[in-house]
């Protein structure tokens, strides 16, 4: 799945708030990180149409350099929100 396909899908079915509520439930320590698998699972639960796709290429840029399993979900959220806004305004991503 390309980033444009991903952004198109989540913009049309905007449940991002639900995604980040679930992330906060998992991140009990409030350290700003979840595992790549946890984020993948949450995204596929909230957006059932993503079940068949490999989301690792979408998530990988937000993994920590020191520990590739951990995802900085605040950076992920900021990026996704920025891309969704750009898509809504022009039909493309930046």
pLDDT tier for residue 3 given thresholds of 50, 70 and 90: confident
Give the whole-number percent of the chain exceeding pLDDT 70: 99
The CA distances from residue 90 to 29, 58, 81, 84, 94, in Å, are 38, 21, 14, 10, 10
Residues contacting 59, CB < 8 A, separation 6+: 36, 39, 40, 71, 76
Helices 3-12, 73-90: crossing angle, 10 deg rounding: 80
Whole-model pTM: value is: 0.85
The full set of domain ranges for the chain reads: 3-90
C-alpha dihedral sign at 65, 11, 48, 23: positive
């Amino acid at each position: 799945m390309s980033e444009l396909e991903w952004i198109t899908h989540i913009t049309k079915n905007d449940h991002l708030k639900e995604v980040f509520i679930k992330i906060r439930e998992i991140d009990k320590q409030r350290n700003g990180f979840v595992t790549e698998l946890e984020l993948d699972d949450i995204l596929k639960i909230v957006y059932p149409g993503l079940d068949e796709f490999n989301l690792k290429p979408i998530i990988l840029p937000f993994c920590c350099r020191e520990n590739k399993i951990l995802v900085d979900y605040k950076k992920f959220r900021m990026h996704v929100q920025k891309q969704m806004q750009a898509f809504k305004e022009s039909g493309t991503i930046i």
